[in-house]
Structure 1
């Protein structure tokens, strides 16, 4: 492994090495879940839920509306993007 000037570790192929994970509990409205995240240095302040989360929860993504739907505790849950007004509050 090689350490870059910014302090990040790379393997021999130049790929970022993940050496830390964190279990993160989160709530979206009435939906509560926990996800195991790889910790890497990046400039972001949001949780990035990717394919493992979508696969584990059998999530359906509507590419037109950008909504994610799945069943949680017997109830259908739909996650929708924030409106422009909601984003500006953040």
Structure 2
């Protein structure tokens, strides 16, 4: 993934070997990459990650992260609670498979301006865009601002009308 995305790594000043990634094989950790991530609107952090040859890619928030932020785990609710920048945050489990309880007559549109997107790109040097198209049973006509309507019409050929409602299973 690091090579595919062309991410700039830093050299590990103290290389070490790990063996739990591939059974019976030791891998020397020589490169590191600092991943910026956020969970929800209020929590953003960075994790210094080992760069290894693997078949999977996840940010694993394990015991070091729990210790660093003083997280308290509630096993019954499957949540983590901790204080972050003067706020009490609670990380909830993924709600995949659950329906969102949105009012039937409301449609949410989340968009950012091109200048906000370009500023984000300048800060991180890479950016990913996720376009989500919600299928409503009988979608009411929505009057978008004229600038947005022109943009939607210009890029109408990017997405077909027959998009799947959800991502394929992993």
TM-score, normalised on structure 2? 0.40
**Quick one: which of 28, 49, 65 aligns to 2:39?**
28
1:1-90 matched pairs, under 5 angstroms: 14-30=25-41, 31-85=43-97, 89-90=166-167
**Aligned CA distance change for structure 1 residues 66 and 40 (closer, same or farther; 3 Å):** farther
Flag the structure with more relative contact order, 1 or 2, with Cα contacts below 8 A and sequence separation at least 6.
1
Which residue number in structure 1 is paired with residue 144 of structure 2?
none
Work out the number of aligned pairs and report it: 79
Higher Rg of the two aligned structures: 2
- Structure 2, unpaired ranges of 5+: 1-16, 19-23, 99-164
- Partners of 1:89 and 1:46 lie apart in 2 by 20
RMSD: 2.5
**Aligned CA distance change for structure 1 residues 82 and 21 (closer, same or farther; 3 Å):** same
Between Structure 1 and Structure 2, the one with more strand by share is: 1
- Structure 1, unpaired ranges of 5+: 1-9
